[in-house]
Amino acid sequence: MNEENDVMSRVESKLDVLIRLTALSLVANVPSLKEKAIILSRAGLAPKEIAALCDSTPNTVSVALSAAKREKKN
């Protein structure tokens, strides 16, 4: 059972790396944090994950997403 957990842990780690690389490639040429946040949020990433990828804070990402929602309503 312990060996099985180790294998699952390694698989999860590799999947995390793959997700990060894919997310970074999606926003490589996107200039603003707000646009990056929108794209990555639509891809299912949480503000904390987006912040880690964009060298920002989760609060800043949440504010950017909130501003984007307000702009969309107007």
pLDDT per position as a tens digit, 22-70: 999 999 999 999 999 999 999 999 999 999 999 999 999 999 999 999 9
Split at pLDDT 50, 70, 90, the class of 1 is: confident
CA atoms within 13 A on the CB side of 62: 6
pLDDT tens-digit readout, 16-28: 999 999 999 999 9
Q: Name the nearest CA neighbour of 68 among 38, 33, 45, 47.
A: 38
